[in-house]
Every structure is written in structure tokens, then in C-alpha cells.
Structure 1
Amino acid sequence: RAHPISFDEFNSNHSLISGCKNVHYDLVFILDTSSSVGKEDFEKVRQWVANLVETFEIGPEKTRVGVVRYSDKPTTEFDLGRYTTVEDVKRAARNIRYLGGNTNTGEAISYITTRSFSETSGARPREQGIKKVAILMTDGRSQDYVLEPSKAAHQAGIRVFAVGVGDALKEELDEIASEPKSSHVFHVSDFNAIDKIRGKLRRRLCESEDVFPQGLPDEYAFVTTFKFRKTSRREDWYIWQIIDKYGIPQVFTRDAVRAVFRSPEVADLFDRNWHKIALSIQAQTVSLYLDCKLIQTMPIEEREDIDIQGKTVIGKRLYDSVPIDVSMKTISTILLAIVKKNESIFRRLWPL
């Protein structure tokens, strides 16, 4: 029979997320604490903030974090740089006070522009080149105007992410968020779902805007040239697998994102000659190429973030995770703005 080979992966931006600890911001959370949120759901917001700050290295010369809560009026919970370790920031986040009241989002945005990102409140001078980022979370329509305050924030160099929950208006979130809107606006149905977007938001925060000003592409390719050695056997194996720091495959809900290739052409890999193998990973599909020939395209599920302390493993047996016995000449991971699912693109990029 044809021996299937599997592809396990969790995020197309694995190599860039591992560098997220090297991205330093002045980062302010703007949290809606109006009556519509409620104390029970606000507890989920506290934990969400605490989890998200783990993305960064916290410190006076690294990322500084501040929190502003608002309802009728905005109030500083803690200023940028007040806490200098990630554990201190997480502890403070879990103790953010709940207010209740109305939802004056526009006033809160003006507040962080003029006060929270000032040097007197812990922000670093403009000449240091530290990027300013604000993450606003709200669950409803603002009772004041948000467009002009948001424009002022953008003009002040503040990159604004807008996270809407439940009845939050898409049009209003678009007015609040920075460009491109597709990278800076998030919406979920309720507070039970906010953790589902944490990974996507973290990826956006970790991306290099200088290299990819419109955000990282969803498509990328993995390519290697290899051959099985004489000691290797025909058996099921993983082409590429991303594991966490404990060696466990990264999972989303119940299982890893997985595509199993069972085409008869896969058997040619076991002839102990050199072969070029390529995977084209896209938003909803993964394609396998052998020796520049498209073998099979498989659907894949939506992907989430991965453990930034994890590893990429190539060539493991399916049943016991023992590395397979192969020789390799080259390994490449290429992020592509456009990856065409056809034979010619691979012939141009990786000629035999």
C-alpha cells in the first residue's frame, strides 16, 4: 500500500512568533468596565490581559505595560512602566477594578492619547523609536463619538487594535482601529470566546511592520532535499511537526491541525534516491510537491498560535516519534506574499 506521510502544524508564522520576545512596545490596554460587561465577564477580561502580556519581555528597557479602564470616565489602573516584571504585570492585571456605568469610548481614547502615552505617565521619548500600541476592548456601542479621538490617536503615532465583544458595532470598531482594518479589528460573540482571538492578536503584535507593512502573509512554503538511508524502512512518518516545549504536538481544540497524504506517488520517496519535497501552506489548504510535481492538495482547519518556546521537528515516525533515518542537503522555510498552487512556481524557485 502507499505509506501515508503527515503534516502537523499550528501556525504559518512560527519562526516570527519565536522572535516576539524581542519586540518592545509602550503598550496600553483600554478596557470597557461599563455596566453591560458585568463583574463575572470582566473577570475573564482580567485573565485575558494577564495571558496576553506573557507574549513580551517586560522591563524598563523592554516592553512597558499600562492599563486604563473606562465607563463614564477613563481612569488609570496603572501607568506604563510601573511594573517591571511579567509576574508583577500579570498580578496587577488580575486585580483591575471593575467600575460599572456608561460607555464613553471616545473620551477614553482621547485620554490615552494625551495622558497615558506621555512621558510623565511612563512612555518613552519619541526619539527612542519605541512604538506605541493600544488595545481597546469593548462590548457595546459608545455613548460618545469615537472617530475624531481615534484619528488623533493615529496621528500621534499610536497603533490601535479594536476588540469587540457581543453587541460592539463593526463600523465603530473600524473607526477606532488603525490601518489595515483587517489586521487591527477583532470581534467575538461573547466573553467566553475572547481567548480564541488572543493568538491572532499576539501574531499581529509580533509581526515586523517594516518588512510586511500590511501584515504577514498567510501563505508560506517549506522545502527540503533529502533521501532515505539504507537503514530506513517504509513506514508512516511526519514530514513536519511543530511541538511545544514539552515535546507535545501543538493542538487547537481537540487535535492538531493535520493533513495526511496517501497518494501512491508518496511511495517513490522510499527508493533511497535524492528527492525534493515541498509543502505549500495556505490559509485553508496544504499542498505536497515531490520533485517539483504537485502530488496532492488537502484542506486544513483554522490555525491558532503556537507555544513560542516550542520546536519544529522534521521527519518523525508516526507511531513512536523516533526520528527517521534520512540524509538532508537543504532546508528552507519561505514566507511568500503570493504562493501559487501549481508546478511552475516550484520549478522557478527550486529547480532540480
Structure 2
Amino acid sequence: ICAMPNDKSDTTKLDVLFLLDTSSSIGEAQFQRALKLVVDTVKEFRNVGPDGIQVSLVQFNHEPYLEFSFRKHNCKPQLLEDIADTTYMKGVSNLGNAINKVAKFGFNKRRGDRPDADNVLVILTDGMSDDKIQQPLQLVRNNGTAVLVIAAIEARPELVRELVGHRESNIFNLSDALDRPLAERLSQRIRESQLDAMPPFSSVIMADVTESVTVPSTVLSAVSTETFTTEELPYTVTNEAFATEEHPDATETVGTISEVLTSTTEMRNVSEIMREESVTTTASSEPSTQTVPA
């Protein structure tokens, strides 16, 4: 039973895939900040499931890793918990490879993609990639997928401009990711993407991050494997055998997740912040009751 029933008055019907850069160049602090932004953005939607917004989450370094597909969630609280449990992994950044495989296998009927719902790809990246992105981008655009980018422009801003076809509208600051208004604006732009009449649609949300990020001086070589490793599966599968079985256990990851950089230098758990928000909201409406997370 879902703790928060869907609000059918929210008629937004989209398949939204968040593609998170989890490479070493972006750093864990920025990754956690971006992850919190994703959580807050999804909170803005009130109808999650087959007749509303569907969300898929993929993170990438040398390969994309599928956290969950479109068909997994129709309950918003469970979806938010799943996002918050995403693990930072480090590694090289093969954005072109990730976009290519997401276009082919992420937005796929077997993964829950709906023919009557527009597709939106939200790319979270620092503007660095160790492989080519031109052909994968063309594939996405040919499919009519709307592309939104949240980018920390520190190393290669020209790549970000290439991602969006030099359409530099809707500029936001990732350093404000803990502020709700940024999530509200991002969610509104996602909603508006289904109204764009002429594909390919492309928009950029570019982040001017205030804290410095250390980029490795040694350029890591790109991995040439053609496999698509998925967090939903206990094993690696090839492109042709892109499987649909979901697996609850994370595999082949490095480090632990769920910390968000606050206004100080401490790191906090994303799930903990979500619980605190839940308690605060409940306390304001019912002073004698506190929400206890399941």
C-alpha cells in the first residue's frame, strides 16, 4: 500500500529518465547535491505511474548503470527512497556511451517506455566526457526526446553547449540545489517539454558551482566494453540481451551514498533529510503526531 496516493488531477504524462554523471571528475559533493535536486524535482509531481509521470534513473562512469526502469514505481514515496539510495561510484566519464545506450535501451518498451508519453532525458554532468557524443546525441534527437542538462561548467563548457545544440536558455545554479525553487523551476520545465511542438527539443540548465572540484590530472582511458551493466541485475548483459528482470541489490559500485553537502562542509544522508522534512511537515499540521519512516 502506498503511503501517498496519486493525485489524478496532475495530468502530466511523461517518461523522464535522469542520467547522472557519477565519474571521478564530477566529485561526490556535486553528485550528492545533484541527487538531492532530483529528489526535490520528483516531489513536485503528484501522479506517479502508468497514467502520470514515470521515472527511470541511470548513472554512468565508463558504462551506464541502470538503477531502476520506468515500470518499477507507481508510488512516489517509494520512488523518492529509491533515488536517495543511489550510490556514487567514481571512474571515467563516457557520456557518449551512456547517451547511446539510454537512447536504445532506456527508452524502450521492455523497460516501460510508453508510446503515448513524450520522453525527457535529464543529463546531470560536469561537461566532461572521455568519448564522442555527436552520434549518440543525433540518435536521441532523431527519437524526438527532449533533453535537459544540469551542468557544472568547470572543464569543458563547449561540450555542454554541444549537448544542447547551443540553445543556452533556462540557466540555473547547481549551488542552489538545496533550495526548493530550483527544483520547482526544473519540474516546470520538464512539464513544458511535452508542449514543445518541434522535436528535437533541447534545453540547458547550467550550473555555476561555487565550490572547487578537483579534476584528475591524468586522463583515464575509456573502457572499450560494449556491455550494459545494470543495477537491477546481478550480472552484466550485452546490448542485444538487455534484460528486464529487476534486482533490488546494487552491484559493482564504489563507496556509499546518501550524503548531501549542506551550507557547511558536513555531509548528510539524503534519506535522513527526507525524513526530517516529513517530520517537520507533519508536526506543523498535527503537533501531537510525528511521521515515522517505514
Query: Is it true that 1:79 corresponds to 2:65 in the alignment?
Result: no
Aligned ranges 1:272-283 → 2 under 5 Å: none
1:20 Cα deviation after fit = 9.4
TM superposition score normalised by structure 1? 0.49
Q: Deviations over 1:161-183 (max 9, x none)?
A: 111114153332232236x8244
Q: Deviating runs (4+, > 6 A) in structure 1? A: 211-215
Give aligned-pair identity as a percent.
Answer: 24
* Structure 2 partner of 1:152: 139
Matching residue of 1:200: 185
TM-score where L is the length of structure 2: 0.58
Kindly report which structure 2 residues correspond to 1:46-195, keeping only aligned pairs within 5 A, or say none.
Answer: 46-56=35-45, 57-124=47-114, 126=115, 129-167=116-154, 169-177=156-164, 181-183=167-169, 186=171, 188=173, 191-195=174-178
> How many aligned positions are there?
190
Question: What SS class does the counterpart of residue 89 from structure 2 fall into?
Answer: coil
Distance, in Å, in 1 between the alignment partners of 2:85 and 2:196 is 37
Gap regions ≥5 residues in structure 1:
1-18, 216-352
Paired residue type of 1:194 = A
Residues 103/72 of structure 1: CA separation in 2 closer, same or farther (3 Å cut): same
One-letter amino acid matched to 1:63: I
Q: How does 1:1-352 map to 2 (within 5 A)?
A: 21-56=10-45, 57-124=47-114, 126=115, 129-167=116-154, 169-177=156-164, 181-183=167-169, 186=171, 188=173, 191-195=174-178, 197-207=182-192, 210=195
Indicate how the Cα distance of structure 1 residues 64 and 208 shifts in structure 2: closer, same or farther if over 3 A, else same: closer
**Larger CA Rg, structure 1 vs 2:** 1
Q: 1:86 Cα deviation (Å)?
A: 1.1
Native 8 Å contact 1:79 1:116 kept in 2:
yes
Q: Secondary structure at the match of 1:22?
A: coil
**In the aligned structure 1, how far is the partner of 2:20 from the partner of 2:196?**
30
Q: Shift of the alpha carbon at 1:187?
A: 5.6
Shifted more, 149-158 versus 53-62: the winner is 53-62
Q: Answer 1 or 2: which has greater strand percent.
A: 1
SS of 2:150's partner is: strand
CA contact (8 A) 1:164 1:186 kept: no
Unaligned stretches of 5+ residues in structure 2: 1-7, 203-294
CA-CA distance at 1:210 after TM superposition: 4.0
Whole-Å separation in 2 of the counterparts to 1:176 and 1:96: 24
